[in-house]
Structure 1
């Protein structure tokens, strides 16, 4: 990459201002709280993994149940930093599994506008497009409701493939 020093200089400048660092840390803490709350409220539906940090692009955790595990699939609750929205992704445990389920779901409503498989997932569902981070309790409730709705809908679809 040309001019990497230039990009690093800009990066350092932005970090010194502090706003990006504060926002990123608060967003990660919020996703951690979501996971903790969901373990308490949804453990009868799903098991949850630890938080994963992307490259300032995504913060996420996986969740799954016996049905998904039997198909070598899992869900991800994703905070998409670039779009600043929450999404549910269906993912495969391996690339061949992802490719198999992409072929089976490329004509669904989730993939209707896509001509190729998403980079990291089989399908993606936007669940909260414009999160209000000034009302975290309401946002947690909204994310949980929409996550469960999207997950149930995707599971229902997957069960038709058997």
Structure 2
């Protein structure tokens, strides 16, 4: 790595400007509100985990149901900060589970452009490519609708593997 002091100085300078800090805090708050909303509206279908913060790269929470738990799987609703989009990830609870399901799902439409397993997941699918953060109510509806559709489709496919 190049001189760490250089990177820290740039980081500090950007934080002092304030824009990044405001944007990051507002994005995390929005993901927290999504989780709260989904607990209210989708708790009959899924249980939801707490908010997890990546290294300024991802903010996410897990959600699962009895079927997924029986397979040692879970979904993640992910805000990908680098791409600035919302995604769903299918994850395994252990590395062997991830590898097992990668083998079963690597030739599906969700992994069609992948030649190797994603770093953190079995599959990733984009829900909202260019989110409009100026209309959070509409964005919440968009994410919920697409999340339900994508989750159901993945679950239906997983059920055919038994």
**Same fold, TM exceeding 0.5?**
yes
Gaps of 5+ in 1: none
1:2 deviates by 2.7
User: Which whole-Å CA distance do the structure 2 matches of 1:88 and 1:154 have between them?
Assistant: 10
Runs of 4+ in 1 over 6 A off after TM superposition: none
Please give the residue correspondences for 1:5-154 in structure 2 after superposition, counting only pairs within 5 Å.
5-154=5-154
Aligned to 2:125, what secondary structure does the other structure show?
strand
- Give deviations 1:94-113, integer Å, cap 9, x for gaps: 00000000000000001011
Cα RMSD (Å) of the superposition? 0.4
1:67 deviates by 0.1
1:61 deviates by 0.0
2:161 equivalent to 1:161: yes
The aligned length equals 162
Normalising by structure 1, what TM-score? 0.99
1:6 deviates by 0.1
Gaps of 5+ in 2: none
- Give deviations 1:40-78, integer Å, cap 9, x for gaps: 000000000000000000000000000000000000000
User: Which whole-Å CA distance do the structure 1 matches of 2:22 and 2:2 have between them?
Assistant: 29
